[in-house]
Amino acid sequence: MEASDFIALAHGPLSEFLGEGFEQKPLTEVLRGCERKARAIIRRLKPFAKQETFPRVYNLRATHALFALALLYYSPYFRHFVRAAKRHYGPLREKEDTTEDLLRMMENIRAYQYMSQYQKKTVRLYDEMNDMFIAQHYNEGQSALVEDQVVLVVDFMNPVEQIKFEIETIINKLQSELDSFVTDNIAGEVRKRHLPSRHGLPLINDKGNIVRTPATYIPEWYQALLVYRMKKRGRKESLIIKRLWKNDKSQDHYAGRKTTVHNRYKLAKRLIEAAFARVPLTGHHTPL
């Protein structure tokens, strides 16, 4: 299928991602609308800005998905995607895209939206699931697995430790099966960074020891997102530093803060690549 034909068929989802009437609006207006969505995501992520502000209970995988979605909205990949979508409806002329390129971005956005919908907790009762999940569960013959969700029947009158052990056994088995699909296609150390089970785990070193926990690396992602957004908008370095350290007027650490801003910008670009490839962001926290 040609890209133009695909875009014509996908007008409904594109209107959801880019806003109603996107085909008649200027490119800059469509991009601003999507950046407003990204700013709304940043507001949802604000509790993760500092280690001491972390919620007591949260869904780490959903949090990662929110970061990935916001980064994608600001990325050059997304601007290219919008131009490709508008080309079908307007006079824009650019290198022709393939259907696969367009479909990939749409699948990325949909996947991160799906992953981020249950941000506040990981374990939920069946009646807390949304209508889409319940309908899909019914249509699939009430399967134990629906997308990346598992349906469990728990005899909660048993001792808690026994329940926890049995659930952990089931989850480990499912994660191993899912990871096996990746190990067949990616080799070596890079493979370990891209396993589905790596979403949300602490960072480990070459010896297998934990070196960073989410409470220490996620605040850096928040800073990276802010730095990338401000640089994209042409903000001066001094204003970026003032924004990140607004409660600290000291000039003694200015050189160190310039380095931090530079490192956060590089981190944001690595996270964007991970988000576009739809692999765990933790695998790109440090350079490969």
Across 39-53, 184-198, 228-242, least confident range: 184-198
pLDDT on residue 48: 93
Average pLDDT on 28-42 reads 90
pLDDT tens digit sequence for 42-69: 999 999 998 888 888 888 888 999 999 9
| Residue 288 to residue 284: CA distance in whole angstroms | 7
**Vertex 12 angle, CA 7 and 13, to 5°:** 80
1 vs 197: which has the higher pLDDT: 197
| Residue 72 to residue 276: CA distance in whole angstroms | 7
Q: Is the pLDDT of residue 194 over 90?
A: no
pLDDT on residue 92: 44
Angle, helices 99-115/11-18, rounded to nearest 10 degrees: 60
| Residue 19 to residue 105: CA distance in whole angstroms | 16
Average pLDDT on 258-262 reads 90
Q: Is the pLDDT of residue 270 over 60?
A: yes
